[in-house]
């Protein structure tokens, strides 16, 4: 590479997304309502997923 070598700070963020969202944000209340419902529906989701191929990974993991 030619040209000047410029130092770049902060390429990676080491702060969890949960730390970026304010505690009083309205979506936190909605998430509190939706998470238990989705957990209850998990067996229904499992039935419609294929049994072969790569396993699905929930986005929160």
Q: What is the mean pLDDT of residues 27-37?
A: 93
Q: What is the mean pLDDT of residues 19-29?
A: 91
Mind listing the pLDDT tens digit for each residue in 44-58? 988 887 777 777 677
Q: Residue 35: its pLDDT value, please?
A: 93
Question: What's the chain look like in SS3?
Answer: CCCCCCCCCCCCCCCCHHHHCCCCCHHHHHHHHHHHHHHHHHHHHHHHCCCCCCCCCCCCC
Q: Read off the pTM.
A: 0.51
Q: What is the mean pLDDT of residues 15-30?
A: 89
| Proportion of the chain above pLDDT 90, given as a percent | 33
8 Å CB contact between 21 and 28: yes
Domain ranges of the chain: 23-48
Cβ within 8 Å of residue 27, ≥6 positions away: 21
What's the token pair of residue 51?
Answer: 């049994």
């Amino acid at each position: 590479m030619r040209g000047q070598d410029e130092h770049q700070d902060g390429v990676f963020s080491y702060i969890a997304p949960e730390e970026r969202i304010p505690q009083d944000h309205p979506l936190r209340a909605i998430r509190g309502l939706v998470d238990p419902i989705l957990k209850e529906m998990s067996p229904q989701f499992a039935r419609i997923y294929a049994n072969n191929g790569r396993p699905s990974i929930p986005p929160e993991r």
